[in-house]
Chains A and B, each alone.
Chain A
């Protein structure tokens, strides 16, 4: 059974557009338009796309905060509309990391509060909250008031809150936003550990490097529709994105070749080829240069990044 499944999800919003003080017109925003997807248990699934593409709407529907206009969705096997109560018991959620907490309570007090709303006793909630503060790296900062927290600390507390009820599935909307590199790495490791422990992680992020490193599956959403889906490697394969092959030639001047040559960082010419068959073309370039009597310096093959995938998908 999949951890998350949905089919034909649709959500339209009616909004009023102010053209001037007196002139307002009704407009319809298609936040989700016939979205279907499936997420296996224990994986990290990332939903990526530009701002306003429908990511948060998707998270809100799956976390029972929004009812779709059409289609169905199941989380942990439960219907998000008809069995919302059951879904809520098995999920954790991070929406906007700087929101959702009482400013005049400490991080610990906020966590204990939410823990108790989930039905934990005060003792259990306190123990669990302290454990999560350590896990997210907040530690002693948990005793400080939320209003004194930096954005990064707030993001960590949001993740701790999402885990207070030992959920089977967590929804994380941009979990590492505002975090310093060390803290972001800690959170990424935590996400990996959670998935390794069997938890399903559904996340959104604008950090493509992070998505590529964390995710088993990535879906690209554009104007409310899923336009590409697969593992990062599958997406690159499907889109036939080109590799960049660079061969440094130890020579005083540019070698005699019809291939593109630029001056490299070390002061030697670099032959650069953009290709979909990196291994074959690398051998060809090396053979050609050797055949002309040049020595080969450094060789580099650059894989296309997920950012390029996203750029290509969104611009097509």
Chain B
């Protein structure tokens, strides 16, 4: 079998495995479907407690809906970072390496679940926002939104692979993931830039995540803080850099594992 066919076979094996595991227990799907609406209401109101009057502003409701959309995106991918530690603890990772499969390919099985989470949770959020809070949803630049979503999915897929390698040896990686899933989006453009105080606006542009998260919210509201071309180009470069960094880290992890007999980067 050719190298390309082997690679394709592995990718399909990982995807099928991820889907089978996800679909095996209906309680997971049921829990996801019920939890998302509740969490959405919770986060909406946690922010809007400070300014309940904004519940009557269609612009802000739309902007915040997309803010939470970015949270779902980041959160879905961040939880995939837990996977490698679990796989190593279960003794699966060693066997996978023996087959010649790379860590990157192995991660795909979990990432497909992130994509499903996003595919289910994202539209559900939009639906709840529209039905529950009366939001009239709109996207000012649909074509830019498409690019931003593709870019963000790719970026966070690579980023979660990178994080997975860094967290592989931790006993409780979920702690870091749990914190990061909130900090990353809400300090890097999930909150519409135009509602931030002037001094904060320029600070958040120093966060690399800004160039990935801001385009989603800005494409919906139409309020790009920097020229869209610039933001998306930097986002693309960051995506490539994250991809390269994830590859380097995986190689380092594998080398260290072979040298020390333990999966750890530190």
Contact = CB atoms under 8 A, between A and B. Distances in A.
Interface string B57-99: 0000000000000000000000000000000001110111111
A88 B91 CA distance: 17
Interface centre among A13, A99, A118 (most CB of B within 10 A): A118
A104 B1 contact: no
Contacts of B90: 99-103
Given A95-B94, A105-B20, A88 B9 contact: no
Nearest to A94: B95
Contacts of A63: 98
B97 to A, nearest CB: 7
A240 B63 CA distance: 86
A67 B262 CA distance: 12
B99 A101 contact: no
Contacts of B171: none
Contacts of A66: 258-259, 261
B199 to A, nearest CB: 44
B10 A104 contact: no
Given A57-B261, A105-B20, A114 B12 contact: no
A13 B9 contact: no
A114 B12 CA distance: 12
Contacts of B100: 85, 88-89, 117-119
Nearest to B91: A99
A250 to B, nearest CB: 60
Contacts of A93: 95, 98
A109 interface: yes
Interface residues of B, number: 29
A93 B10 CA distance: 19
B17 interface: yes
B50 interface: no
A65 B97 contact: yes
> How many interface residues does chain A have, given as a range?
35 or more
B259 A101 contact: no
Contacts of A102: 17, 21, 90, 92
A146 B24 CA distance: 13
B94 A109 contact: no
A91 interface: yes
Contacts of B261: 13, 57, 60, 65-66
Contact of A113 (B17, B98, B260): B17
Interface string B208-233: 00000000000000000000000000
A64 interface: yes
B5 to A, nearest CB: 7
23 contacts: A13-B260, A64-B258, A66-B259, A66-B261, A85-B100, A88-B97, A91-B98, A93-B98, A95-B94, A95-B95, A96-B91, A99-B91, A101-B92, A102-B17, A102-B92, A105-B20, A109-B20, A117-B100, A119-B9, A119-B10, A119-B100, A161-B95, A165-B99
